[in-house]
Amino acid sequence: MKTILYIDQSESFRLLIKEELSQEGFQVATAGSLEEAILNWQAVQPDLVILELRQNRLSEEVFERVKNRYPEVLWIGYSTYFQCPEEFKKWVNFYLPKSSRIEEIKMLIKDLKGTAGNLKERINV
């Protein structure tokens, strides 16, 4: 796994995640919304997408457009658990509560990377 796309409306979290995961050796592209990710997706070929699920205007239609663009990519939902609508959780492969301590994300990514080598191989496991 080399490239991670992190989608979050919070600029401070985008900077934090990008810095932390870049230090782990990943290329990290960020977007402030699913719409922004759609506009820039030609330049980004992620191995993993991390999506803050409490996006303003997050709709199933827009999510499906992005998901269809990356059909073999695993998704991590990253949000405050009690504020995240239940129906959004069905869209992701893994869910982690949002926190400024991002060790859980790092551990999950390392586990996925170490277990499968290539995340795309895990889709049908």
Tens of pLDDT, residue by residue over 65-102, are 777 877 778 888 777 656 666 777 777 888 788 887 78
Tokens of 9: 């409306």
What is this structure's pTM? 0.79
Please check whether residue 14 is in contact with residue 32, taking contact to mean a CB–CB distance below 8 angstroms.
yes
Name the band, by pLDDT with cuts 50, 70 and 90, for residue 15. Answer: very high
Domain of 109, in residue numbers = 3-122
The pLDDT score that the predictor gives to residue 84 is: 66
The pLDDT score that the predictor gives to residue 36 is: 87
The model's pLDDT over 37-57, given as tens digits with 9 standing for 90+, comes to: 888 777 788 888 888 887 666
The pLDDT score that the predictor gives to residue 116 is: 47
Q: What are the distances in angstroms from CA 46 to CA 71, 80, 83, 101, 115?
A: 11, 24, 27, 23, 18
**Structural domain count of the chain:** 1
Q: What is the CATH number of the domain that holds 86?
A: 3.40.50.2300
